[in-house]
Amino acid sequence: MRKKVLVVGKGAREHALAWKLQQSPARPTVLVAPGNGGVPEMSVSLSHTHISALVDFAVAEGINLVVVGSEEPLSMGLVDALQAAGVPAFGPTLAASQLECSKAFAKEVMAEAGIPTAQWRVFGDGEAAKVFLKNTAYPCVIKADGLAAGKGVFIARDYEEGCQAVDTAFWALGEAGRRIVIEEYLEGYEVSFFCLCAGGTAVPLGAVQDHKRAYNGDQGPNTGGMGTYSPPPFWTKELEEETLSRVVRPLLEAMARRGTPYTGVLFVGLMITAAGPKVLEFNVRFGDPEAQALMLRLRSDLLAVLEACAHGRLEELALEWDPSPAVCVVMAAPGYPGEYAQGIPLAVPPLKDYEMVFHGGTTIKDGQLLSSGGRVLSACALGPDLRTARERAYALVERISFPQAHYRTDIGLKGLEVGTLCIPSGSMLGEQIPTARLLARAES
Ligand code: AMP
Ligand code: GLY
* 367 found inside a domain: yes
CATH number at residue 76: 3.40.50.20
Residues 341 and 419 in one domain: yes
CATH code of the domain covering residue 126:
3.30.1490.20
Domain assignment of residue 341, yes or no: yes
332 plus 403 within the same structural domain: yes
Asked if the structure places residue 140 within a domain, the reply is yes
Instruction: Give the pocket of ligand 1 (CB within 6 Å).
Output: 118, 141, 143, 153, 183-186, 190, 212, 222, 269, 280-281
**57 shares its domain with 161:** no
Ligand 1 atom nearest to 187, measured from its CA: 21
Same domain, 25 and 59: yes
The verdict on residue 253 lying in a domain is yes
Instruction: Please report the DSSP string for 263-297 in residue order.
Output: -EEEEEEEEEETTEEEEEEEESS--TTHHHHHHHH
Domain count within the chain: 3
Residues of the chain with pLDDT under 50: 419-444
Whether 158 and 85 map to the same domain: the answer is no
- In terms of domains, do 364 and 234 share one? yes
Atom of ligand 2 lying closest to residue 210 CA: 1
State whether 179 and 215 are in the same domain. no
Taken in order 217, 219, 224, 226, the sign of the CA dihedral is: negative
pLDDT for position 421: 37
**Of 78, 94, 110, the domain-final residue:** 94
Residue 105 in any domain: the answer is no
H helices of 279-431, where?
290-297, 302-310, 386-399, 413-416
Same domain? 291 vs 205: yes
Q: How far is CA 154 from CA 97, 169, 184, 190, in A?
A: 23, 8, 12, 16
Residue 108 lies in a domain: no
Residue 351: which residues within 8 A CB-CB, separation 6 or more? 357, 396
Whether 54 is in a domain gets the answer yes
Residue-level pLDDT at 195 = 98
- The residue whose C-alpha atom lies closest to atom 6 belonging to ligand 1 is 153
Spatial neighbors of 1 by CB under 8 A, at least 6 apart, are none
Using alpha carbons only, how large is the chain's radius of gyration in Å?
21
Q: How far is CA 319 from the centre of its chain?
A: 20
Residue 395's domain spans which residues? 189-436
Give the residue, out of 267, 329, 330, with the most ligand 2 atoms within 8 A of its beta carbon, to mutate for a pocket test.
Answer: 267
Q: Rounded distance, CA 407 to CA 362, Å?
A: 16
Residue where a domain stops, chosen among 94, 111, 146: 94
- Residue 276, phi then psi, degrees to nearest 5: 105, 180
For residue 215, the cross-strand partners are: 219
Domain end: 153, 184, 215, which one? 184
Report pLDDT for 418: 65
Closest ligand to 194 CA?
Answer: 2
pLDDT at 426: 32
Query: Are residue 388 and residue 419 in the same domain, yes or no?
Result: yes
Minimum CA distance residue for ligand 2 atom 2: 287
**Residues 205 and 164 reside in one and the same domain:** no
Q: Is residue 106 part of a domain?
A: no
